[in-house]
Chain A
Amino acid sequence: MAHQCRLLRTGYNNAFHNMGLDQAILEQVAAGTVLPTLRFYGWQPAAISIGYFQGMQEEVDLSACHHHGVDTVRRITGGGAVFHQSEVTYSIVLPLTHPLADQNILASYGRLCQGIVKGLANLGVTAEFAPINDIVVGAKKISGNAQTRKLGCILQHGTILLDVDVDIMFTLLKVPSEKARGKAIADVKERVTSLSRILGRTVFFDEVSTALEQGFAEALDLNLVVEQPSAAELERVEDLARSRFASETWNLKR
Protein backbone atom coordinates (compact mmCIF):
# COMPACT_ATOMS: atom_id res chain seq x y z
CA MET A 1 0.00 0.00 0.00
CA ALA A 2 1.26 3.46 -0.91
CA HIS A 3 2.61 5.66 1.85
CA GLN A 4 0.50 8.71 2.68
CA CYS A 5 2.59 11.84 2.29
CA ARG A 6 1.71 15.51 2.46
CA LEU A 7 2.80 17.60 -0.55
CA LEU A 8 3.57 21.29 -0.02
CA ARG A 9 4.12 23.58 -2.99
CA THR A 10 5.29 26.67 -1.19
CA GLY A 11 6.68 28.63 -4.15
CA TYR A 12 9.35 31.31 -3.80
CA ASN A 13 10.33 32.78 -0.44
CA ASN A 14 13.40 34.32 1.11
CA ALA A 15 16.17 32.24 2.65
CA PHE A 16 15.09 32.79 6.25
CA HIS A 17 11.51 31.70 5.58
CA ASN A 18 12.69 28.73 3.53
CA MET A 19 15.00 27.38 6.22
CA GLY A 20 12.50 28.22 8.94
CA LEU A 21 9.75 26.29 7.19
CA ASP A 22 11.90 23.19 6.73
CA GLN A 23 12.57 23.22 10.48
CA ALA A 24 8.91 23.94 11.32
CA ILE A 25 7.83 20.99 9.18
CA LEU A 26 10.37 18.78 10.94
CA GLU A 27 8.96 19.79 14.31
CA GLN A 28 5.35 19.17 13.28
CA VAL A 29 6.09 15.79 11.69
CA ALA A 30 7.94 14.89 14.88
CA ALA A 31 4.92 15.95 16.94
CA GLY A 32 2.67 13.78 14.78
CA THR A 33 0.38 16.67 13.89
CA VAL A 34 1.05 16.39 10.14
CA LEU A 35 1.86 13.61 7.69
CA PRO A 36 5.38 12.90 6.49
CA THR A 37 5.98 15.76 4.10
CA LEU A 38 7.49 16.45 0.70
CA ARG A 39 7.96 20.12 -0.12
CA PHE A 40 9.07 21.98 -3.26
CA TYR A 41 10.25 25.57 -3.14
CA GLY A 42 12.38 28.31 -4.67
CA TRP A 43 14.40 31.26 -3.41
CA GLN A 44 13.51 34.92 -3.91
CA PRO A 45 15.80 36.78 -3.63
CA ALA A 46 18.67 34.51 -4.62
CA ALA A 47 20.62 33.25 -1.62
CA ILE A 48 23.70 31.45 -0.45
CA SER A 49 23.18 28.81 2.20
CA ILE A 50 26.15 27.41 4.04
CA GLY A 51 26.48 24.11 5.84
CA TYR A 52 26.00 23.96 9.60
CA PHE A 53 29.73 23.68 10.28
CA GLN A 54 31.02 26.24 7.83
CA GLY A 55 32.39 29.64 8.74
CA MET A 56 30.17 32.25 7.10
CA GLN A 57 32.81 34.91 6.73
CA GLU A 58 35.47 32.58 5.40
CA GLU A 59 33.16 31.02 2.79
CA VAL A 60 31.01 33.95 1.69
CA ASP A 61 31.81 37.50 0.55
CA LEU A 62 29.11 39.18 2.61
CA SER A 63 29.60 42.62 1.12
CA ALA A 64 29.29 41.23 -2.43
CA CYS A 65 26.10 39.41 -1.40
CA HIS A 66 24.74 42.62 0.07
CA HIS A 67 25.66 44.51 -3.10
CA HIS A 68 23.87 41.96 -5.29
CA GLY A 69 20.86 41.61 -2.98
CA VAL A 70 21.66 37.99 -2.18
CA ASP A 71 20.54 36.59 1.18
CA THR A 72 22.90 34.48 3.29
CA VAL A 73 21.81 31.81 5.73
CA ARG A 74 23.24 28.91 7.74
CA ARG A 75 21.42 25.60 7.26
CA ILE A 76 20.61 23.09 10.00
CA THR A 77 22.26 20.47 7.79
CA GLY A 78 25.95 19.99 7.10
CA GLY A 79 27.63 20.12 3.71
CA GLY A 80 28.95 22.97 1.63
CA ALA A 81 27.90 26.40 0.47
CA VAL A 82 25.14 26.49 -2.17
CA PHE A 83 24.16 29.36 -4.44
CA HIS A 84 20.37 29.21 -4.76
CA GLN A 85 19.37 31.09 -7.87
CA SER A 86 17.86 29.02 -10.65
CA GLU A 87 16.85 25.71 -9.18
CA VAL A 88 14.09 23.63 -7.67
CA THR A 89 14.68 22.91 -4.00
CA TYR A 90 12.92 20.10 -2.18
CA SER A 91 12.72 18.85 1.35
CA ILE A 92 11.38 15.57 2.65
CA VAL A 93 10.67 14.82 6.30
CA LEU A 94 9.94 11.33 7.62
CA PRO A 95 9.81 9.88 11.12
CA LEU A 96 12.73 7.52 11.73
CA THR A 97 10.14 4.78 12.32
CA HIS A 98 8.74 5.20 8.78
CA PRO A 99 9.26 2.22 6.42
CA LEU A 100 11.14 4.52 4.00
CA ALA A 101 13.49 5.77 6.71
CA ASP A 102 16.73 3.78 6.57
CA GLN A 103 18.65 3.93 9.82
CA ASN A 104 21.89 3.94 7.86
CA ILE A 105 22.47 7.48 6.59
CA LEU A 106 24.19 6.49 3.36
CA ALA A 107 21.45 4.02 2.51
CA SER A 108 18.91 6.68 3.33
CA TYR A 109 20.45 9.15 0.88
CA GLY A 110 20.44 6.43 -1.74
CA ARG A 111 16.77 5.64 -1.25
CA LEU A 112 15.40 9.17 -1.02
CA CYS A 113 17.48 10.41 -3.94
CA GLN A 114 15.73 7.87 -6.16
CA GLY A 115 12.81 10.30 -6.19
CA ILE A 116 15.03 12.83 -7.95
CA VAL A 117 16.55 10.27 -10.30
CA LYS A 118 13.05 9.17 -11.32
CA GLY A 119 11.86 12.78 -11.59
CA LEU A 120 14.72 13.62 -13.92
CA ALA A 121 13.91 10.51 -15.97
CA ASN A 122 10.40 11.94 -16.36
CA LEU A 123 12.08 14.92 -18.05
CA GLY A 124 14.04 12.63 -20.35
CA VAL A 125 17.28 12.97 -18.37
CA THR A 126 19.20 9.87 -17.34
CA ALA A 127 20.74 10.54 -13.94
CA GLU A 128 22.20 8.41 -11.21
CA PHE A 129 22.85 8.63 -7.50
CA ALA A 130 26.52 9.28 -6.72
CA PRO A 131 27.34 8.49 -3.09
CA ILE A 132 27.54 10.10 -0.64
CA ASN A 133 24.87 12.61 -1.49
CA ASP A 134 24.99 13.79 -5.10
CA ILE A 135 23.10 13.05 -8.28
CA VAL A 136 25.01 13.17 -11.54
CA VAL A 137 24.25 13.19 -15.24
CA GLY A 138 27.20 11.64 -16.99
CA ALA A 139 29.98 12.61 -14.63
CA LYS A 140 28.54 16.03 -13.85
CA LYS A 141 26.66 16.99 -10.70
CA ILE A 142 23.13 18.26 -11.12
CA SER A 143 21.82 17.82 -7.60
CA GLY A 144 23.33 18.10 -4.13
CA ASN A 145 21.55 16.86 -1.02
CA ALA A 146 21.98 17.18 2.73
CA GLN A 147 20.42 15.28 5.59
CA THR A 148 19.99 15.69 9.30
CA ARG A 149 18.19 13.72 11.97
CA LYS A 150 16.44 15.49 14.80
CA LEU A 151 13.45 14.89 17.07
CA GLY A 152 13.16 11.32 15.81
CA CYS A 153 12.84 12.41 12.16
CA ILE A 154 14.92 12.56 9.00
CA LEU A 155 15.04 15.85 7.14
CA GLN A 156 16.67 15.72 3.72
CA HIS A 157 16.76 18.74 1.49
CA GLY A 158 18.50 19.38 -1.78
CA THR A 159 18.60 21.23 -5.05
CA ILE A 160 18.09 20.39 -8.70
CA LEU A 161 19.80 22.93 -10.94
CA LEU A 162 17.71 24.52 -13.67
CA ASP A 163 20.58 26.75 -14.74
CA VAL A 164 23.86 27.83 -13.21
CA ASP A 165 25.84 31.04 -13.45
CA VAL A 166 29.22 30.06 -12.12
CA ASP A 167 30.77 33.48 -12.75
CA ILE A 168 28.23 35.23 -10.51
CA MET A 169 28.49 32.43 -7.96
CA PHE A 170 32.20 33.09 -7.58
CA THR A 171 31.70 36.79 -7.06
CA LEU A 172 29.73 35.77 -3.95
CA LEU A 173 31.80 32.87 -2.64
CA LYS A 174 35.31 33.32 -1.33
CA VAL A 175 38.19 31.44 -2.89
CA PRO A 176 41.58 30.82 -1.26
CA SER A 177 43.21 33.52 -3.40
CA GLU A 178 42.44 35.70 -6.40
CA LYS A 179 44.95 33.60 -8.29
CA ALA A 180 42.81 30.52 -7.60
CA ARG A 181 39.54 32.13 -8.70
CA GLY A 182 39.91 31.29 -12.40
CA LYS A 183 40.75 27.67 -11.66
CA ALA A 184 37.85 27.35 -9.20
CA ILE A 185 35.43 28.69 -11.83
CA ALA A 186 36.82 26.37 -14.50
CA ASP A 187 36.61 23.37 -12.13
CA VAL A 188 32.96 24.00 -11.26
CA LYS A 189 32.05 24.57 -14.92
CA GLU A 190 33.68 21.22 -15.66
CA ARG A 191 32.04 19.33 -12.77
CA VAL A 192 28.52 20.82 -12.64
CA THR A 193 25.68 20.82 -15.13
CA SER A 194 22.06 21.98 -15.25
CA LEU A 195 18.80 20.94 -16.85
CA SER A 196 18.92 23.89 -19.26
CA ARG A 197 22.34 22.84 -20.47
CA ILE A 198 21.36 19.17 -20.84
CA LEU A 199 18.03 19.81 -22.55
CA GLY A 200 19.29 22.73 -24.62
CA ARG A 201 16.37 24.98 -23.75
CA THR A 202 14.98 27.15 -20.99
CA VAL A 203 13.60 24.97 -18.22
CA PHE A 204 10.92 26.21 -15.87
CA PHE A 205 10.41 25.68 -12.15
CA ASP A 206 6.86 24.33 -12.53
CA GLU A 207 7.64 21.67 -15.12
CA VAL A 208 10.56 20.39 -13.08
CA SER A 209 8.78 20.40 -9.74
CA THR A 210 5.84 18.55 -11.34
CA ALA A 211 8.21 15.93 -12.79
CA LEU A 212 9.89 15.60 -9.40
CA GLU A 213 6.56 15.21 -7.57
CA GLN A 214 5.76 12.32 -9.89
CA GLY A 215 9.28 10.97 -9.50
CA PHE A 216 9.09 10.86 -5.72
CA ALA A 217 5.60 9.34 -5.84
CA GLU A 218 6.77 6.59 -8.19
CA ALA A 219 10.17 5.86 -6.68
CA LEU A 220 9.02 5.88 -3.05
CA ASP A 221 5.47 4.65 -3.60
CA LEU A 222 3.92 7.79 -2.13
CA ASN A 223 0.29 8.82 -2.20
CA LEU A 224 0.76 12.60 -2.27
CA VAL A 225 -1.88 14.72 -0.58
CA VAL A 226 -1.63 18.39 -1.59
CA GLU A 227 -1.96 20.66 1.43
CA GLN A 228 -0.90 24.07 2.69
CA PRO A 229 1.44 24.53 5.65
CA SER A 230 -0.51 24.24 8.90
CA ALA A 231 -1.32 27.26 11.07
CA ALA A 232 1.19 25.99 13.63
CA GLU A 233 3.90 25.75 10.98
CA LEU A 234 3.18 29.25 9.67
CA GLU A 235 3.31 30.67 13.17
CA ARG A 236 6.53 28.82 13.93
CA VAL A 237 8.21 29.79 10.66
CA GLU A 238 7.81 33.47 11.44
CA ASP A 239 9.48 32.95 14.78
CA LEU A 240 12.29 30.78 13.38
CA ALA A 241 12.95 33.10 10.45
CA ARG A 242 13.29 36.10 12.75
CA SER A 243 14.94 34.64 15.82
CA ARG A 244 17.23 32.10 14.19
CA PHE A 245 17.75 32.13 10.44
CA ALA A 246 17.93 35.91 9.95
CA SER A 247 20.01 36.43 13.09
CA GLU A 248 23.73 37.13 13.20
CA THR A 249 23.96 34.92 16.28
CA TRP A 250 23.02 31.94 14.14
CA ASN A 251 24.52 32.89 10.81
CA LEU A 252 27.88 34.02 12.16
CA LYS A 253 28.18 31.38 14.89
CA ARG A 254 31.16 29.87 13.02
Chain B
Amino acid sequence: MMLQGVGKPSGCKLIRFTAVLEGQVIKEIQIRGDFFAIPEEVFEALEASLCGTSLDALEERFAQLARELDLALQGISGSGLAELVQTAYREGQTNNDTM
Protein backbone atom coordinates (compact mmCIF):
# COMPACT_ATOMS: atom_id res chain seq x y z
CA MET B 1 0.00 0.00 0.00
CA MET B 2 0.99 3.58 -0.58
CA LEU B 3 1.12 5.78 2.49
CA GLN B 4 1.57 9.53 2.71
CA GLY B 5 1.68 11.89 5.64
CA VAL B 6 2.59 15.38 6.72
CA GLY B 7 2.98 16.99 10.09
CA LYS B 8 5.14 18.68 12.65
CA PRO B 9 5.86 16.08 15.32
CA SER B 10 7.12 17.38 18.65
CA GLY B 11 10.61 18.88 18.32
CA CYS B 12 10.56 18.60 14.53
CA LYS B 13 10.07 20.93 11.62
CA LEU B 14 7.52 20.13 8.92
CA ILE B 15 8.02 16.57 7.68
CA ARG B 16 6.29 14.95 4.71
CA PHE B 17 6.73 11.38 3.62
CA THR B 18 5.61 9.03 0.90
CA ALA B 19 6.10 5.32 1.54
CA VAL B 20 5.28 2.01 -0.04
CA LEU B 21 4.48 -0.66 2.54
CA GLU B 22 4.11 -4.40 2.33
CA GLY B 23 2.13 -5.29 5.40
CA GLN B 24 3.83 -3.20 8.07
CA VAL B 25 7.24 -3.26 6.38
CA ILE B 26 8.63 -0.29 4.48
CA LYS B 27 9.56 -1.19 0.91
CA GLU B 28 10.33 2.38 -0.15
CA ILE B 29 10.25 5.76 1.56
CA GLN B 30 10.98 9.35 0.63
CA ILE B 31 11.15 11.92 3.43
CA ARG B 32 10.72 15.59 2.60
CA GLY B 33 10.45 18.81 4.54
CA ASP B 34 12.23 21.86 5.86
CA PHE B 35 14.56 19.98 8.18
CA PHE B 36 18.35 19.89 8.01
CA ALA B 37 20.52 16.80 7.59
CA ILE B 38 24.24 17.18 6.99
CA PRO B 39 25.73 15.76 4.79
CA GLU B 40 22.57 16.08 2.69
CA GLU B 41 23.47 13.36 0.17
CA VAL B 42 24.05 10.88 2.97
CA PHE B 43 20.46 11.31 4.11
CA GLU B 44 19.45 9.71 0.83
CA ALA B 45 21.45 6.62 1.87
CA LEU B 46 19.51 6.62 5.14
CA GLU B 47 16.21 6.68 3.26
CA ALA B 48 17.34 3.75 1.11
CA SER B 49 18.47 1.83 4.21
CA LEU B 50 15.05 2.16 5.81
CA CYS B 51 13.72 -0.30 3.25
CA GLY B 52 12.88 -3.55 5.01
CA THR B 53 12.20 -1.82 8.33
CA SER B 54 8.95 -2.62 10.09
CA LEU B 55 6.90 0.28 11.36
CA ASP B 56 7.39 -0.63 15.00
CA ALA B 57 11.19 -0.61 14.53
CA LEU B 58 11.29 2.64 12.54
CA GLU B 59 12.23 4.98 15.37
CA GLU B 60 15.21 2.92 16.50
CA ARG B 61 16.36 2.04 12.96
CA PHE B 62 16.30 5.71 11.89
CA ALA B 63 18.29 6.75 14.95
CA GLN B 64 20.77 3.88 14.46
CA LEU B 65 21.33 4.78 10.80
CA ALA B 66 21.75 8.47 11.63
CA ARG B 67 24.45 7.50 14.14
CA GLU B 68 26.18 5.06 11.78
CA LEU B 69 26.12 7.52 8.88
CA ASP B 70 27.27 10.35 11.17
CA LEU B 71 24.39 12.59 10.11
CA ALA B 72 23.85 15.89 11.90
CA LEU B 73 20.08 16.33 12.10
CA GLN B 74 18.00 19.36 12.97
CA GLY B 75 14.23 19.37 12.82
CA ILE B 76 13.82 15.63 12.29
CA SER B 77 14.19 12.61 14.54
CA GLY B 78 13.44 8.92 14.52
CA SER B 79 10.68 9.39 17.06
CA GLY B 80 9.09 12.22 15.08
CA LEU B 81 9.19 10.32 11.79
CA ALA B 82 7.92 7.12 13.39
CA GLU B 83 5.05 8.99 15.04
CA LEU B 84 4.05 10.49 11.69
CA VAL B 85 4.27 7.24 9.74
CA GLN B 86 2.53 5.14 12.39
CA THR B 87 -0.27 7.69 12.71
CA ALA B 88 -0.78 7.72 8.94
CA TYR B 89 -0.80 3.91 8.93
CA ARG B 90 -3.40 3.71 11.71
CA GLU B 91 -5.57 6.31 10.01
CA GLY B 92 -5.25 4.40 6.72
CA GLN B 93 -6.35 1.20 8.47
CA THR B 94 -9.28 3.00 10.08
CA ASN B 95 -10.35 4.50 6.77
CA ASN B 96 -10.11 1.10 5.10
CA ASP B 97 -12.19 -0.44 7.90
CA THR B 98 -14.94 2.09 7.45
CA MET B 99 -15.10 1.94 3.67
The yes or no verdict on A and B being binding partners is yes
Using CB atoms and an 8 Å cutoff, list the residues of chain A in contact with chain B: 51-55, 58, 76-81, 105-106, 132, 146-150, 176, 254
Min CB–CB distance A145 → chain B (angstroms): 11
Q: Whole-angstrom distance from the CB of A84 to the nearest CB of chain B?
A: 16
- Tally A-B pairs: CB < 8 A: 57
Q: Mark B32-43, 1 if CB is under 8 A from A, else 0.
A: 111111111001
What is the CA–CA distance of A55 and B38 in the complex, to the nearest angstrom? 18
How far apart are the CA atoms of A58 and B16 in the complex, in Å? 10
A183 to B97, CA, bound (A): 34
User: What is the interface of chain A mostly: helix, strand, loop, or mixed?
Assistant: loop
Closest to A254 in B: B32
Q: Is the CB of A78 within 8 A of B36?
A: yes
B35-A53 in contact (CB<8A) = yes
- For the complex, give the distance between the alpha carbons of A2 and B30 in Å: 45
Chain B residue with Cβ nearest A150: B39
From residue A48, how far is it (CB to closest CB) to chain B in Å?
A: 13
Say if the beta carbon of B72 comes within 8 Å of chain A: yes
Bound form: Cα–Cα A218–B37 in Å? 31
The interface centre, meaning the residue of B31, B43, B72 with most chain A CB atoms within 10 A of its CB, is B72
**A80 (CB) vs chain B CBs: closest residue:** B34
CB distance from B16 to the nearest CB of A (A): 7
Tell which of B6, B39, B40 touches A53, judged by Cβ atoms closer than 8 Å.
B40
B74 contacts the other chain (CB 8 A):
yes
Contact across chains for A105 and B34 when beta carbons are under 8 A apart: no
In the complex, 20 of the A-B residue pairs with CB atoms within 8 angstroms, ordered by the A residue number, are A51-B35, A52-B40, A53-B32, A53-B33, A53-B40, A53-B43, A54-B32, A55-B16, A58-B32, A77-B40, A78-B36, A78-B75, A80-B14, A105-B72, A106-B74, A146-B36, A149-B38, A149-B39, A149-B72, A150-B39
